[in-house]
Amino acid sequence: MPREFETKSVCPICGAELIFRWRSDEIPHFDEIMCISATCECGFRYADTLILSEQEPVRYELIVSSPEDLNARVVRSTSGTIRVPELGMDIEPGPASESFVTNVEGVLERIKNVVKMSRKWTDDKVKLKRIDEVLNTIESTKSGDAHITIVIEDPFGNSAILSKRATSRSLTREEAAKLKTGMIVLDTGAGDVQRSC
C-alpha cells in the first residue's frame, strides 16, 4: 500500500518555503521505491527516486558478441556501477546518480554521447585519437564486428543485466565495500549517517 507524506524545507534558489512530497510505490525488479518531488514558484524543481530495498551485492556480466546482444535489458539502480573494459569506461554512481532501465545499445549510446561531448573540451591529439577509438569500437560493436563486455556491479543488489547469456554471481563483502554507492547510506548498527560517493 503506497505511503505518502510531505516535509518542509527551504528553496536553495529563492529561500521560500519548499514542500517535498514523498510517495512510496512498488515496481518490478526494484521492489519498493520512494518518489520525491518539489516545485517552487521561482522555477526550482526537484525530483528523485530512491530504491528502498536492499538485496545481496551482485555482479552481472554479458559478452556482447552479436547485434542481438544489444537488446539485452540493463537495469541500473542509483548504486550500480557499469564497466566496459574494452572501452576503458567505468560509470560510477555519484550524488546525483539516477536509476534507469535500458538495453545494451542504450548504454552504448549514453557512453557515445558523453565521449562526443568530451571532444569539444580538448585539442590534445592523443585524447582525440582515444575518443575516435572509443567511438569506432562502439560502432563496430553495434554492427557485430567487435566484441565488448558489459559488467554491472551493485553493492545493494538492485541492478541487473536481463539476458539468458548474462552470468551473475554474488560479490564478496570486500568487493562490495570497494564500490561507490552515490547515496547517503544509513548504517543503523553504527547510528551514523555515511555518504558513500
The residues that bridge with 36 in the sheet, in sequence order, are 22, 48
Query: For the residues 133-148, what does the mean pLDDT come to?
Result: 95
Q: What is the mean pLDDT of the chain?
A: 86
Instruction: Tell me the pLDDT tens digit for each residue of 24-50.
Output: 888 666 677 778 888 899 989 887 777
Q: How far is CA 151 from CA 26, 138, 155, 196, in A?
A: 26, 16, 13, 21
Per-residue model confidence (pLDDT) at position 1: 62
Residues sharing a CB contact under 8 Å with residue 100, sequence separation 6 or more, in sequence order: 76
Query: For the residues 122-150, what does the mean pLDDT come to?
Result: 95
Whether 182 shows a pLDDT value over 60: the answer reads: yes
Query: For the residues 118-135, what does the mean pLDDT come to?
Result: 93
Per-residue model confidence (pLDDT) at position 30: 61
Contact between residue 142 and residue 46 where contact means Cβ atoms under 8 Å apart: no
Give the lowest-confidence range in 3-7, 28-32, 86-90, 123-127.
Answer: 28-32
Burial of 180 (0-12, 13-18, 19+ CB in 10 A): middle
Whether 185 shows a pLDDT value over 70: the answer reads: no
Contact between residue 63 and residue 147 where contact means Cβ atoms under 8 Å apart: yes
Contact between residue 81 and residue 179 where contact means Cβ atoms under 8 Å apart: yes
Per-residue model confidence (pLDDT) at position 165: 95
Percentage of residues of the chain with pLDDT beyond 90: 55
Domains and CATH numbers, the chain: 4-51 (2.20.25.420), 58-196 (2.60.120.1040)
Question: Which pLDDT band, with edges at 50, 70 and 90, does 84 fall under?
Answer: very high
Residues sharing a CB contact under 8 Å with residue 173, sequence separation 6 or more, in sequence order: 57
Locate 23 and state its grid cell: 510517495
Query: For the residues 137-146, what does the mean pLDDT come to?
Result: 95
Backbone phi and psi for residue 40, each to the nearest 5 degrees, phi listed first: -110, 155
Percentage of residues of the chain with pLDDT beyond 70: 86
Helices (H), 42-100: none
